[in-house]
Amino acid sequence: MYSEKVMDHFTNPRNVGEIENADGVGEVGNASCGDIMKIFLKVEDNVIKDIKFKTFGCGAAIATSSMVTEMAIGKTLDEALELTNAAVAEALDGLPAQKMHCSNLAADALHEAIKNYKETHSA
């Protein structure tokens, strides 16, 4: 049902945790399935230097959270904003159709964290 990459990111998630005094925080949830994702950013010179996540949800939700952090770290904020839910699912070698709604949260949470950063750090 799940690809090896999904299973790897679910059983060995990367960048789990919270960043104290984060520069940006984004939280999204899907009420119908109960998945909730929160992403924390540390930004230096417009580049994501550190990123962590906390996710309450199914294996796909945890795997997509882990993957989006791997994809975003080291990118500029604008580059990270270009990451899509479809790209996250593709990087995991796909998700079952009934789990695609979970992957939609990962990029959304990242985008919310960037939006929060821009709102609190605008000149």
Q: How far is CA 17 from the centre of its chain?
A: 12
Q: Kindly list the domain boundaries of the chain, sorted by start residue.
A: 4-121
| Residue segments in the chain with a per-residue pLDDT below the cut of 70 | 123
pTM of the model: 0.94
- Is 58 catalytic? The answer is no
Q: Tell me what pLDDT residue 98 has.
A: 85
Q: Tell me what pLDDT residue 3 has.
A: 94
Catalytic residue among 88, 102, 109, 114: 102
- Is 33 catalytic? The answer is yes
Let me know: does 92 contact 5? Beta carbons within 8 Å: yes
What is the C-alpha to C-alpha distance for residues 32 and 50, in angstroms, rounded to an integer? 30
* Domain 4-121, architecture per CATH: Alpha-Beta Complex (3.90)
Q: Tell me what pLDDT residue 123 has.
A: 57
Catalytic residue among 7, 33, 58, 73: 33
Q: Tell me what pLDDT residue 11 has.
A: 97
Six-digit token string for 33: 């399935």
